A and B are shown apart, each in its own frame.
Chain A
Amino acid sequence: MPFFNIPVLAAAVRDPETIPVLVVVMIGLVLVFAILFILIAVIKIQGGLFGSAEKKKKIKSEAKEEITVPIQKAKPQNVPVPPVVEKGIPGEVVAAIVASIDAMSGGAYVLRAVGVHKKRRGAWGTAGVVQSTEPF
């Protein structure tokens, strides 16, 4: 299709079925990449303007009620030891906890064990506390 033939282009715009398939694919891919590249530039500018975040940030975790065993600073080890995980805790939850610790500490800490904190309010009790304190 001649790109500078305005009547042909106008006809194609009125009827998208006549646009060559490869043209649609090219337009689509180029536009997706272009828009996301623009977003990358915007994010980098935004990051530079607002600066990096505070170093220690409280992580919002889905497993807020689980309390991990206190972590100790890692001693130099030749062979990394996997953490001791209480039965019933899915591997993905452990992966998320370890990834969070790793991200926050930069690899300075190693998770030794994961367990569920036994002494806590039941679900109903927790819901009652949340409902009562939520307005505040």
Chain B
Amino acid sequence: MKDVVVMGIGLHPFGRFPDKTFEELAYPAINSALDDSGMPFKDLQIAFCGVVNSSLYDSRNVVQQFGWSGIMIHSLSQASGSSAAAFRLAYWTIATGLHDTALVVGYEKMERGFIPGTIMPGKSHLDVMGLDPIPARVALEMRKRMKDYDEPIEAHAAYAVQCSENAALNHYAHYQIRRTREEVLNSRIIADPLRLYMCCPTSDGAAAAILCSAEKARQYGDKRAVKVAAWACGSPQVEDLFGGPGAFIGGDFKGGNLTRRLAKEIYERAGIGPEDVNMAIVHDPFTMAAMVDIESLGFCPEGEGGRFILAGNTRRDGKIPLNTDGGLLCKGHPMGPTGVSQVCEVVKQLRGEAGERQIPRRPRVGLTHSSGAGMLNMLILKK
């Protein structure tokens, strides 16, 4: 397998842009990534787009804005993890030697409110009887954790406040406002005990990354290149198929089994342990998810996720800085670009280019963890 590096990254702000087309959202993300990488568009050999609510032609339109170079352009959908899957496929393409360079871009336009989780709306027990809202499924797991682990609701507030503080310093974030503990705890109940500010929004936005073989990267100047050290991916196994109706809601909310399994794999591939990870950007559409994630990634013992966060260990100056861009929670969650936007943040931090959000002890090893419809894609990046 060849060494692969991330040469350039770019973003379009996450927020609400009802009048923008996919091309307009993706343009600054791809253009910035090209500038950042020093690579001309003509040198890109393949493209992978991550988008869920796609029409027939948008992936071609988005990429061909820059030229009709004849390369293969893919459109991939993996719910919240679409561009994480796209990134991994781009990585595999270069690592296996089929190509030397690749573009990864994610983009999305979303409606407000709940994401439909059913194939035949209005006909199944699942949606007619109101069993489908994803936040409600999360609330079930949250209540279990509060009972089994005595996890305080304050931990959820602490995590939401921490994310808001990071997002307030991120001019690409959807919500750039610092929230207080009181605001979070008093926000509208969605599904008891889950409240509004413990949930991510739906958002529009775009993000891009340019990958290159380490060998070819030298010709563009590779001082700022970040290495893809390891990957892992998979879907849940039968121990997570515990009932229904309705698909496994994803995000590994039940207990982190998939994350645990893939974490073992990725640490082995990278030749490291969780203690060697300096920062992580994890899947956090709900505050509870971050707690499950950090336990399953081995950053703290099982059942201690909430308390670990409450004690400040995941702040930028903490033991394991988490979601320094504001996370899905406050940075926003356009499904298409979220995965690659995690890579963008790790790359900035590892390069020392995160500005006001820079982790004071400059990280060398970053981890990304992106879930989509229950599938999981993870990366370890090193500089």
Q: Do A and B bind each other?
A: no
Chain B residues in the interface with A (C-beta under 8 A): none
Chain A residues in the interface with B (C-beta under 8 A): none
